[in-house]
Structures are given as C-alpha cells and as structure tokens.
Amino acid sequence: MSKRPLSPAASPSSKRTRTAAATFNPRKIASSAAAAATDADPPLLKLLKAVKDGVPTPKKGDSVVYWMRMGDLRISDNRALSLASAHAKKDNVPLVVLFILSPQDWTAHDRAPRRIDFTLRNLALIKLSLAELHIPLHTVTQPNRRAIPQQVLSFLDSLNAFAVYANIEYEVDELRRDVAICNGAKSKGISATFAHDKCVVEPGVVVTGQNKSYAVYTPYQKAWLSKLNANIPYYLEDCPPPRANSESVRGSPKFGALFDTPVPVSVAGFELDPADRAKMEEVWPAGETKAQDILHRFIRTKSRSCQLGAVDPLAPGAEDSDKRSRIAVYDAERDRADRDTTSRISPYLAAGVLSARACIRATMSNKALQGKVDGGKTTGIGRWVQEVAWRDFYVCVLAGFPRVSMGRPFLEKYANVRWEGPPVEETAYTATPGSPSPIELALAAANIEKWKSGRTGYPIVDAAMRCLNEMGWVHNRMRMICAMFLSKDLMIDWRVGEKYFMEKLIDGDLASNNGGWQWCASTGVDPCPYFRVFNPHLQSQKADPTGNFIRQWVPELGAVRGPDLHDPSASIATKLGYPLPVVKHNEARDRAIRRFKDPGAA
C-alpha cells in the first residue's frame, strides 16, 4: 500500500530534517471495513471498561504518578493532576509528574513544529512551578511509540508507584495504548485512572435517544447546555491545585534525580528557525497566566485594528468596555477577519494551558442569569459559549465515530468522490473509476502548491494561507474559505488540506481540524451541503469589508481599494505581479456539484 507522503513546507520557517521521526510514515487511511468495525466497538468504551475493571484499592507503595500529556499543559484546574495529588496526600507519599516526548506520535498526527515548540515552552514553565511545590516533572523521549506502555509500566515499577493518573486523549491509537497500560497496571496491582478533562461536558453524556453520539450540532448544543446548567458544580468545578510534596523528596535517592531531567529546547525533526521561534514567543506567549490574561482581554476589552496579524496579544493600549468588549459584540462581529474579533485562545485550549471549564466560568458574571451559563443565540457571550460547544461536539464525534480519526469520511458514501491530483492513499481510491492523466496530476500538484503558498489568485484565500503560514493560526472564517476552496474549487482531497493545516497550526487538534475539514468538504457530521459552494469573492467582502486583512497579508495588493481588492482584474493583477486565478470559480463549482451528486463521476 502506498503511504501518504510528507508535504514539503511552503514557508521556510520550520525545518523538517530527515530523522527517525520524519521518515516514520504510518498508514493514515483505514479500509472502510476497519473503520466500521472500530465505530461499532469504540476504543473509548474499551478504555472506560478497563479503568472500571482495574484495581480499586491498590496496596500502598512509595509514590503516585500523574502522566501529563500534550493536551493538559497546566497545573491549575487539571482533573487528573488534582486527583493524583489528593491520592498522594491521602497516603502521604510523593507525587511525581511524567511527560513522554513521542516524536513518532507527532509525525502520526502531522504535528506542527510550532505546536511542539509551544509544548516545550509551556513544559519548561510547568517544571519550574512544580519544582516550587517539590514535585518533580520527569521528561523522557521515546523514539518508538509502541514501546510507551512498557516504558510507563517500568517507570511505575522503578518508583514503586501504586497509582497512575492521566487525562484521556480521545484519538484511536492513544486510547488503544491506554487500554494496554490499564491492563498492564492491573497485572501489577497498580490502579490506573483516566479522567475526562478536555471537554466541558465529556463524551458519552450528551447522547441521542438511541444512546448514540449526536451527528447534528443544534440538538447536541441544546442538550449540552441543559446538561451543563443542570449540574454546574460538577461540569465547571475548578479542580483544586496540587499540594506540595515534602521538601525531603529532593534528597531521596529514588526521586531526587527526577528534578534534574531537563525539558529540551527543541526535538530533532520539529525545530524552528530562531527567528520564527522568537516570533512565536511574542505572538503566542507560554504559560497559564498569559492564557488567562488573553481570555480576560477578550472578555473585558474592545477590538483593535492594530491587533491584526502576528502581534503580541497582550500589547498595551487595550480599552475596557462592558458594552463593546470583544465578547459582548461577538455575535455581530465574529466573522470579521480584519480585526481581533475572536478570542485567539485556541492554542491554549488545544494544549490545555487553559481548561475549557475556565473559559465557561469566565463568561458567568451576569447576575441576571443566576449562576447559569448563557449559551443562547442572541448575546455575544451566548454565541461564544456555542463555539466552545462546537469544540466539545467534535470531540464527541471523534469518540463516538472513531472512523473520522482513521482517515475516513464520516459519510462513507462520499469515499468515492473523484478528486483531482495524486491519490492520498490508494485505498481511498480503489473504487474511483478512471484515473487522472499525468497532465491532470501535474496540474493538481501545482495547484496544491499554489494553495499552500498563497498564490491562487484569489486574494482572500491567499491572505488566509499566508497568515496561516506566518502565524500558525488563522481566523475560523478564513479556515472555512481555504478549506472550501481546496476541496471544492480545486477539487483536491480534503485530507491533503487537513494534513497541511495540522503541519502549520499552533492550535492543531485532530477533532476540531478534522471536523472543520469534513464540514467544508461536505463529507462530515452535519456538513455544509455539497451544493452550497462558497463564492470566495462574496465571502471576502463579508469577512474583510475594510480590506485590511487582505492588505496585511498580500502586500502586492496594498494599494488596491474597493471591489478590485477582492477580485482584481487581469490587468491590475499583472501590473502588480499578483497571480491570475488558478480556476474559474463558477466552472469549478459546477464540477464539484456534479462529482458530489454522483460520487465516482468524472
């Protein structure tokens, strides 16, 4: 079976050196039969059963371990850490924190070097904060991801640990790994606890009458809000912070050395150029305090045009306002990409530097609501809470329909839609009648490169792609426009774009990224209907009415004003050295509708 090739970096900002991790090339697309079998017996349920069948009251040993993962990089309000600390205190033993750097897992998930850099920057701060509590953060690199279960069990043995705690990662491989760890721990008499922490309302709670995960957002969101409001003390609990170990742990032969394992500054295959690293530090500062400050700014202060682009999110000059704060006007302004209309909190949520619970708690100052969460459509706060619910929704989709993390479309009937360009993996194409000719393949490959580098001749698409390449983040509406353009106008397999986004995004998250891509490609849960293909020029005028977003990222068009900016004529484009459109939108739209209406048609 052919493997999905690694895509070359479009911007020179990140290096992907040929290392063991970079040459590791796991199979990304399962067969439809394998996906259906996994959907029928979801690994999350297996993990929850393994936890339930584990060791309820382990014999006391010498320590309790909290295994921190890439999605829970914080000390405050961290469910597994809090539980682990309480257990350690109850039995009067030290708490130890473990973090495993796993480059093969990062490659398997197409992790962006910027996301890895953000992880390491946050870990370095966490190590310092934990050390103040005399809690060691032990960091190890494991080059072979299959060895992780054994490595964790050996680590527990070496510390005579009797309990291990972690927050759940909902991707298929990670769940299967944790089932193996649960079973291994049980055989050693160690209790293993895997806690729900990523979502406000965990997967499995908001389900249909048939006890299935929802595949439509609106009824999900209504049920989500009523579950949440019915049990706020549980869902929005601010989990107690860890309590300090005895200082004597530092002198212990068993634990003392764990304080000395350094957090690396970079990991081979995922390094950043020093200039890019410095820029990322400025645009996405690490640490829980910064995350809370960024959230606070969104809730308290007004939007500013100077905050467009790759700038310090906490730059001075923000103006407080109750009525005009960014969250207060979010309902009306959220689709505008020409200012800082949204929170830009996603990198902190994806890395767990801030809990989703903390985001919801921060919206609850309105006394008229009497301690309830506003999730309605008529207020800025309510609309924003609905976005956080989208995040929960996509995690529930991932947990309930694991096929989506196996490279399959949620709607299997679209597996045979004919895409332009080289097959992503041959299994996805076996049923596609008629192979593209070499000329078609070359044209599609060239179009993919133009899309990646922001040279499609559609200003809004190009501005958004350049913003993504430069900042590792781009506004939601822009993500939609770019994804729709690749999958419908260029008719390139959405998995090409999904992978490229993951390789670039600092907030890259399988559930939300896959959900967003499959929504735009019309293959996912509750998707955009295939006959509703975005017109990039109209979208551009709506999302960037001032043109500031395009002018910021496409300087060739800096002097252009009015409608020409959104759709430059051939003469203007040629004069300014800007490319001509790679496709004609109307023709491309008809092709997309034809191919989706009759999957397999040319």
Ligand X SMILES: Cc1cc2nc3c(=O)[nH]c(=O)nc-3n(C[C@H](O)[C@H](O)[C@H](O)COP(=O)(O)OP(=O)(O)OC[C@H]3O[C@@H](n4cnc5c(N)ncnc54)[C@H](O)[C@@H]3O)c2cc1C
Annotated binding site for FAD: 330, 342-346, 384, 387-394, 507-509
Choose, from 67, 224, 451, 517, the residue flagged as catalytic: 517
| Closest-CA residue to 473 (of 565, 383, 342) | 342
Cβ of residue 356: shortest distance to ligand X, in angstroms?
Answer: 8
Cβ of residue 387: shortest distance to ligand X, in angstroms?
Answer: 4
| Closest-CA residue to 101 (of 64, 151, 63) | 151
Cβ of residue 311: shortest distance to ligand X, in angstroms?
Answer: 14
Pair 459, 554: CB distance under 8 Å: yes
CA dihedral 211, 213, 216, 220 (to 10 degrees): 80
Chain-centroid distance, C-alpha 598 = 32
Question: Which of the ranges 182-190, 276-284, 425-433, 503-511 carries the binding residues for ligand X, by CB under 6 A?
Answer: 503-511
Minimum CB distance to ligand X smaller for 192 or for 345: 345
Choose, from 67, 224, 473, 494, the residue flagged as catalytic: 494
DSSP state, residue 263 = P
390 counts as catalytic: yes
| Closest-CA residue to 129 (of 287, 23, 15, 277) | 287
Q: In 3-57, at which residue ranges do the beta strands (DSSP E only) sit?
A: none
DSSP assignment of 121-158 equals HHHHHHHHHHHHTT--EEEEE-S-GGGHHHHHHHHHHH
Minimum CB distance to ligand X smaller for 61 or for 527: 527
DSSP assignment of 69-92 equals -TT---STT-HHHHHHHHHHHHTT
553 counts as catalytic: no
Which residue positions form the known binding site? 330, 342-346, 384, 387-394, 507-509
Residues in region 221-250 near ligand X by CB under 6 A: none
Alpha carbon distance 119, 99 (integer Å): 11
224 counts as catalytic: no
Among 61, 380, 382, 508, binds ligand X (CB under 6 A): 508
Pair 108, 70: CB distance under 8 Å: no
Cβ of residue 511: shortest distance to ligand X, in angstroms?
Answer: 8
* Encoded amino acid at 32, one letter: S
Minimum CB distance to ligand X smaller for 343 or for 416: 343
Alpha carbon distance 321, 310 (integer Å): 24
| HSE-up of residue 172 (Cα within 13 Å, Cβ side) | 23
| HSE-up of residue 188 (Cα within 13 Å, Cβ side) | 24
- Examine residue 507 and tell whether it contacts ligand X (CB under 6 A): yes
Q: Is the dihedral of CA 420, 426, 432, 437 positive or negative?
A: positive
Residue nearest to ligand X (CB): 516
Minimum CB distance to ligand X smaller for 127 or for 391: 391
Question: Which of the ranges 129-137, 149-157, 269-277, 390-398 carries the binding residues for ligand X, by CB under 6 A?
Answer: 390-398
**What character string, x for contact with ligand X (CB under 6 A) and - otherwise, covers 483-502?**
x-----------------x-
Choose, from 412, 476, 535, 556, the residue flagged as catalytic: 476
Residues in region 514-543 near ligand X by CB under 6 A: 515-517, 520
Choose, from 419, 451, 473, 519, the residue flagged as catalytic: 419
Residues in region 252-311 near ligand X by CB under 6 A: none
Minimum CB distance to ligand X smaller for 121 or for 339: 339
**What character string, x for contact with ligand X (CB under 6 A) and - otherwise, covers 314-353?**
--------------------x-------xxxxx--xx---
Among 80, 153, 353, 388, binds ligand X (CB under 6 A): 388
Alpha carbon distance 120, 153 (integer Å): 24
517 counts as catalytic: yes
67 counts as catalytic: no
**Bridge pairing between strands 137-141 and 95-101:** parallel
Minimum CB distance to ligand X smaller for 400 or for 515: 515
160 counts as catalytic: no
Alpha carbon distance 415, 596 (integer Å): 10
Q: Which residues are catalytic?
A: 387, 390, 419, 476, 494, 517
Residues lying near ligand X in the complex (CB under 6 A): 334, 342-346, 349-350, 387-388, 390-391, 394, 475-476, 479-480, 483, 501, 505, 507-509, 512-513, 515-517, 520
